[in-house]
């Protein structure tokens, strides 16, 4: 077999040392030495099946058909609050993506943004600059207005967070009231479009779904009169990714 042009000529003087995750099959400076092969993919998602934010990443990956090795972090046993975990993410929360180069990427949207860049299809964060702007707007609303208010009562009243954060039960109850108001508002928004950010499923739907499903732990639910929100919830819940 002929040697491809880019591989002809003098062999480069390269020293192979400690390139994390990459090893050469054969280091006798033959052709094979120039073709490095991935041996120990170290990318890993630090996950918790108990929690809504890691679920956002799992659904995002499932929508794109990306498989990433997953490691469960037992947040119930405070495994995320050890010095070892804090060295990976000083915010001591999941999800965290361990990259192949050994760095740790945290924050749900940052992780999703990374995968959107690597695997643009199907687009979940907008198809052009305008669309990306609207998807971002809706995703932030779903985070700030829905996720934060829906998780508020749990964070501020439940034993899980005792000793983890300063709990202010009155604030948790104010969040409950706000969460119910936001559900009513979202029901109206969904009266004239299929998905949260328009006519295409996006990260904003993922955030809203994970927030609303987590509401069950605090008895925050879509109201029986909120037909548009119910229709949307049924649609997005029946997508195969919802079980990720």
Does position 79 interact with ligand GSH (CB under 6 A)? The reply is no
Question: Max Cα separation, the chain?
Answer: 75
Does position 149 interact with ligand GSH (CB under 6 A)? The reply is no
Hey, how many other C-beta atoms are within 10 angstroms of the C-beta on 231?
14
DSSP code, position 243: G
Contact 187, 226 (CB under 8 A): yes
- CB of 75 vs ligand GSH, minimal distance in Å: 4
Residues of this chain, 186-215, that bind ligand GSH according to CB under 6 A: none
- Binding piece for ligand GSH, criterion CB under 6 A, among 14-22, 48-56, 63-71, 228-236: 48-56
Q: Which of 45, 52, 186, 233 binds ligand GSH (CB under 6 A)?
A: 52
- CB of 230 vs ligand GSH, minimal distance in Å: 24
Measured from the CB atom, the residue of 22 and 144 that comes closer to ligand GSH is 144
Measured from the CB atom, the residue of 75 and 197 that comes closer to ligand GSH is 75
- Binding piece for ligand GSH, criterion CB under 6 A, among 49-57, 169-177, 199-207, 226-234: 49-57
Q: Which of 24, 45, 46, 51 binds ligand GSH (CB under 6 A)?
A: 51
Does position 139 interact with ligand GSH (CB under 6 A)? The reply is no
Q: Which of 21, 44, 79, 107 binds ligand GSH (CB under 6 A)?
A: 107
Per-position b or e across 94-105, b if 16+ CB within 10 A of its CB? bbbbbeeeeeeb
For residues 182, 238, 214, 160, the Cα torsion angle rounded to the nearest 10 degrees is: -170
**Could you tell me the two tokens for 234?**
């049924």
Residues of this chain, 113-132, that bind ligand GSH according to CB under 6 A: none
Residues of this chain, 4-23, that bind ligand GSH according to CB under 6 A: none
Contact 35, 59 (CB under 8 A): no
- Binding piece for ligand GSH, criterion CB under 6 A, among 60-68, 93-101, 188-196, 216-224: 93-101
Measured from the CB atom, the residue of 80 and 202 that comes closer to ligand GSH is 80
Hey, how many other C-beta atoms are within 10 angstroms of the C-beta on 79?
16
Contact 57, 95 (CB under 8 A): yes
Cα 45 versus chain centre, distance: 9
Does position 94 interact with ligand GSH (CB under 6 A)? The reply is yes
Burial of 221 (C-beta count, 10 Å sphere; 0-12/13-18/19+): middle
Contact 106, 96 (CB under 8 A): yes
Residue 117: phi, psi to the nearest 5?
-65, -40
Residues within the interface to ligand GSH (CB under 6 A): 51-53, 75, 80-81, 93-95, 107-108, 164
């Amino acid at each position: 077999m002929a040697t491809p042009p880019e591989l002809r000529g003098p062999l480069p003087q390269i020293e192979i040392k400690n390139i994390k995750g990459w090893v050469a099959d054969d280091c006798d400076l033959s052709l094979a030495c120039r073709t490095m092969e991935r041996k120990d993919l170290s990318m890993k998602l630090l996950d918790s099946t108990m929690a809504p934010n890691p679920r956002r990443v799992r659904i995002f990956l499932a929508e794109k058909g990306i498989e990433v090795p997953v490691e469960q972090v037992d947040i119930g046993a405070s495994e995320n609050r050890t010095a070892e975990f804090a060295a990976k993410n000083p915010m001591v929360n999941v999800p965290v993506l361990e990259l192949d180069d050994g760095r740790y990427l945290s924050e749900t949207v940052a992780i999703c943004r990374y995968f959107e860049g690597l695997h643009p299809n199907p687009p979940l964060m907008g198809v052009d600059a305008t669309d990306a702007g609207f998807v971002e707007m809706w995703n932030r609303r779903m985070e700030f207005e829905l996720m934060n208010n829906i998780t508020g009562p749990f964070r501020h009243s439940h034993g899980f967070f005792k000793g983890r954060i300063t709990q202010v039960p009155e604030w948790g109850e104010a969040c409950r009231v706000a969460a119910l108001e936001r559900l009513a508002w979202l029901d109206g928004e969904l009266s004239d479009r299929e998905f949260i950010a328009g006519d295409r499923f996006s990260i904003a739907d993922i955030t809203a779904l994970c927030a609303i499903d987590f509401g069950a732990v605090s008895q925050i639910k879509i109201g029986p009169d909120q037909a548009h929100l119910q229709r949307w919830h049924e649609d997005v819940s029946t997508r195969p990714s919802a079980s990720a």
